[in-house]
């Protein structure tokens, strides 16, 4: 460990030296939104800085990041070798299914708190939310604040009962309410569907990192990461995954703290000056004008201030409420988060781990939002989207900037470090997800549905590892197919599906005596299918005729200006040509499901799909109930309140 962190400490020192030199020069390098007419930009600074920041004429937008591949590759290999060493050590003590799925229940509450943070702070958090903030401003904070509150639900409702009643999976808890194989099979299918959505975000983030930083083709990047994850899970199990998550969480918090510190240091740690600079940036103002489809500036409209207000993505307040519901209820039913409560020895440790993870996650969410705004200010949204349309490279780009810029030792070192941390983030989260799906397929479906719980430990371990290989292969294929998506959007969809299906079922299973197999099956299936169906008819999908209508407005505005005799700037001529092309291309198109316009007005389905999920579970309970299943509640009630029947923890 000491050998690992000495280079990291040196990296931090070099970054600070490089940034201090940049601060003394007081030069902010920014980019413009077009290549045809460079516009010099300026950024405001804190009152403590004596001279104003001077802007240099910007170069044309770069289509890729400049990296020192030798340094970046070294960092990546260091992460791979170190985590590989952990896997080898863990593999020696992974002998039973309890070791493989739950680390023998021997992880302490403190360790598990860091591991939960490492499992939850995914590539969508670090790359996706920073990217959304850098491109859409305050809406990114809406994506950041939700996950923190989700752990309140976990702490108060889920953590203790699940640890006391469960074994490895959601199916274990539900089997205490019904011995039906249909229940086990449905629970396994739900875990596979939910985890697959979550996996997509991580695989896309991994592919983008490797492609943009190392020049490796996207498909090859996704395949390489997927193969690595399959090996980690197959041999290391939960023990290896836990320690990878703990180390990754520490490195992630360290990198977030460093970037945030260096950003705010530039403004004398004055948040008001920082946000004034964001609102005053001409590049951000021009970007917002483009988002609002204002072909010409509207007199008196403060585009910079608009960037600091929500609504550039989530235009409807109900959409913000819907997103909050998805986050608040979704995390409680995520299979890979639930599995973490089975790794601690008792319910007290489960509660402690949730509190620790809440503190870590809440602090990091604040930092990642500041990182996104800093990237918008110093890198500009135009440059960020030129490198990656989803904005997923905002965090690495601002890391390189605060380290001293492209081509400097500090900048290249810090960029390599942050990217290696992001890569370790993907390793940790994908490992947890593949392990959760492996448990659902092997433990729930194969062992308890197909084989009636008869396979011995050797056979169970074999099936678990085979299922990990299959799930990893599927994740690779889907990751390649979703290359163009913003990874935060993909993960939010997973939250909505979980909140609409898993959460109602878990809640009723733990606390409603009359709940039964009918309620479990209808709740899981109807909730998930309905949530996905609503997404398919929501504004989240692409509607060509909507694109054509927006393009037509731009054409009309610019043609009206030309007709009035006013000269058009080069960028307006370019915008007019693009708008005409967009209109011609999309005027007769339809969405993926053949619609001209969305049937559901909100981007997030939770506000509608969550009530439907609850109602489906209730209706199924009343329609298909049996007296025997009601009587099974007594055993579950005793287990969840006393911990009776829990397996003893193993030493680590």
Q: Is the pLDDT of residue 203 over 60?
A: yes
Which whole number is the average pLDDT over 233-248?
82
Report which of residues 22 and 481 the model is more confident about.
481
Judge whether 33 and 286 are in contact, CB under 8 Å.
Answer: yes
Instruction: For residues 26 and 20, give the distance between their C-alpha atoms in angstroms, rounded to a whole number.
Output: 10
Q: Of the candidates 197, 287, 254, 523, which has an alpha carbon nearest to the alpha carbon of residue 399?
A: 254
pLDDT for the residue 18: 37
Q: Is 54 helix (H, G, I), strand (E, B) or coil?
A: strand
Residues with Cβ within 8 Å of 296's Cβ and at least 6 positions away in sequence, in order, are 557, 558, 561
Range in 57-61, 483-487, 620-624 the model is least confident about:
57-61
How large a percentage of the chain has pLDDT more than 90? 11
Predicted confidence band of residue 644 (pLDDT cuts 50, 70, 90): low
Q: Report the largest interatomic distance among the alpha carbons of the chain, rounded to a whole angstrom.
A: 84
pLDDT at residue 34, as a whole number: 32
Supply the pLDDT for residue 164.
73
Tell whether the model's pLDDT for residue 610 goes beyond 80.
yes
More reliable by pLDDT, 149 or 306: 306
Task: Name the pLDDT band for 378 (thresholds 50, 70, 90).
Answer: very high
C-alpha angle 181-235-213 in degrees, rounded to nearest 5? 110
Q: What is the pLDDT of residues 243-257, one digit of tens each?
A: 888 888 898 899 999
Supply the pLDDT for residue 543: 81
Q: Are 326 and 535 in contact (CB under 8 A)?
A: no
Q: Are 86 and 323 in contact (CB under 8 A)?
A: no
Q: Tens digit of pLDDT for each residue in 13-45?
A: 334 333 333 333 333 333 333 333 332 222 333
Can you tell me whether residue 28 is helix, strand or coil? Answer: strand
- pLDDT higher than 90, residue 273: yes
Measured between alpha carbons, how far is 233 from 248 in angstroms, rounded to an integer?
16
The pLDDT tens digits for 70-80 are 887 888 888 88
For 534-544, what is each residue's pLDDT tens digit? 888 888 777 88
d(CA 587, CA 545): 5
Can you give the pLDDT at residue 522? 93
| Cα 241 to chain centroid, rounded | 18
pLDDT of 506-518, one tens digit each? 889 888 888 888 8
CATH number of 77-271+311-541+598-642: 1.20.1730.10
* Bridge partners, 40 (sequence order): none
Q: What is the pLDDT of residue 347?
A: 76
> Which residue has 């086990």 as its token pair?
184
List, in order, residues 6 or more apart from 615 with CB less than 8 Å away: none
Q: Residues 43, 378: contact at Cβ < 8 Å?
A: yes
Residues 265 and 23: their CA atoms lie apart, in Å, by 9
Lowest-confidence segment of 130-134, 219-223, 358-362, 480-484 by average pLDDT? 480-484
Q: How confident is the model at residue 50 (pLDDT cuts 50, 70, 90)?
A: very low
pLDDT 10s digits, 401-433: 988 887 788 888 888 888 888 777 777 778 888
Buried b (16+ CB within 10 A) or exposed e, 581-614: ebbeebeeeebeeeeeebebebbbbbbbbbebbb
Q: How far apart, in whole angstroms, are the C-alpha atoms of residue 489 and residue 499?
A: 15
State residue 589's pLDDT score. Answer: 81
Mean model confidence pLDDT for the chain: 77
Q: For 422-517, where are the E strands, in sequence order?
A: none
């Amino acid at each position: 460990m000491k050998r690992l962190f000495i280079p990291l400490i040196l990296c931090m020192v070099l970054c600070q030296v490089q940034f201090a030199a940049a601060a003394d020069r007081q030069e902010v390098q920014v980019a413009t939104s077009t290549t045809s007419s460079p516009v010099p930009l300026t950024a405001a600074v804190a009152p403590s800085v004596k001279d104003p920041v001077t802007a240099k004429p910007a170069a044309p937008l770069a289509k890729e990041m400049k990296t020192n591949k030798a340094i970046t590759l070294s960092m990546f290999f260091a992460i791979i070798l170190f985590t590989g060493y952990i896997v080898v050590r863990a593999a020696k003590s992974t002998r039973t299914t309890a070791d493989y799925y739950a680390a023998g229940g021997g992880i302490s509450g403190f360790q598990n708190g860091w591991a939960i943070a490492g499992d939850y702070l995914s590539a969508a958090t670090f790359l996706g939310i920073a990217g959304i903030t850098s491109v859409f401003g305050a809406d990114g904070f809406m994506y950041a604040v939700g996950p923190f509150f989700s752990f309140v639900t976990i702490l108060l409702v889920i953590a203790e009962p699940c640890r006391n009643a469960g074994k490895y999976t959601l199916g274990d808890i539900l089997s205490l309410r019904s011995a039906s194989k249909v229940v086990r099979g449905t629970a396994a299918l739900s875990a596979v569907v939910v985890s697959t959505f979550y996996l997509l975000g991580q695989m896309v983030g991994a592919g983008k990192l490797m492609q943009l930083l190392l020049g490796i083709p996207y498909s090859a990047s996704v395949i390489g990461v997927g193969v690595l994850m399959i090996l980690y899970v197959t041999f290391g199990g939960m023990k290896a995954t836990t320690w990878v998550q703990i180390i990754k969480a520490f490195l992630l918090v360290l990198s977030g703290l460093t970037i945030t510190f260096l950003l705010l240091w530039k403004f004398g740690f004055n948040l008001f000056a920082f946000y004034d600079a964001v609102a005053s940036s001409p590049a951000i103002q021009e970007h917002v004008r483009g988002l609002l489809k204002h072909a010409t500036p509207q007199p008196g409209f403060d585009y910079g201030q608009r960037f600091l207000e929500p609504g550039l993505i989530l235009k409807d307040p109900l959409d913000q409420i819907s997103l909050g519901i998805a986050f608040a209820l979704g995390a409680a039913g995520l299979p890979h988060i639930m599995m973490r409560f089975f790794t601690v020895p008792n319910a007290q440790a489960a509660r402690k781990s949730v509190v620790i993870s809440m503190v870590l996650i809440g602090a990091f969410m604040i930092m990642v939002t500041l990182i996104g705004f800093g990237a918008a200010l110093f890198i500009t949204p135009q440059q960020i989207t030129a490198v990656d349309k989803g904005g997923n490279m905002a965090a690495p780009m601002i890391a390189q900037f605060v380290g001293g810029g492209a081509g400097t030792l500090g900048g290249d070192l810090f960029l390599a470090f942050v990217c290696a941390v992001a890569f370790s983030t993907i390793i940790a989260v994908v490992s947890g997800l593949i392990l959760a799906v492996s448990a659902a397929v092997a433990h729930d479906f194969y062992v308890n549905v197909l084989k009636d719980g008869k396979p011995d430990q050797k056979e169970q371990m074999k099936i678990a590892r085979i299922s990990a290989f299959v799930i990893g292969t599927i994740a690779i294929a889907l990751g390649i197919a979703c290359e163009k998506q913003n990874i935060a959007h993909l993960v939010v969809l997973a939250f909505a599906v979980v909140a609409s299906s898993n959460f109602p079922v878990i809640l009723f299973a733990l606390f409603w005596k009359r709940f039964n197999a009918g309620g479990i099956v209808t709740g899981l299936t109807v909730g998930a299918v309905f949530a996905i169906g609503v997404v398919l008819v929501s504004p989240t999908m692409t509607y060509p005729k909507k694109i054509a209508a927006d393009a037509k407005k731009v054409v009309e505005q610019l043609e009206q200006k030309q007709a009035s005799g006013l000269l058009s700037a080069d960028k307006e001529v370019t915008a007019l040509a693009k708008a005409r092309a967009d209109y011609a291309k999309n005027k007769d198109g339809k969405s993926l499901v053949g619609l001209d316009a969305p049937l559901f007005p909100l981007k997030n389905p939770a506000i509608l799909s969550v009530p439907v999920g609850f109602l489906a579970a209730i209706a199924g309970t009343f329609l298909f109930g049996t007296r025997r299943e009601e009587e099974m509640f007594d055993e579950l009630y005793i287990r969840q309140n006393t911990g009776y029947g829990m397996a003893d923890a193993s030493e680590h």
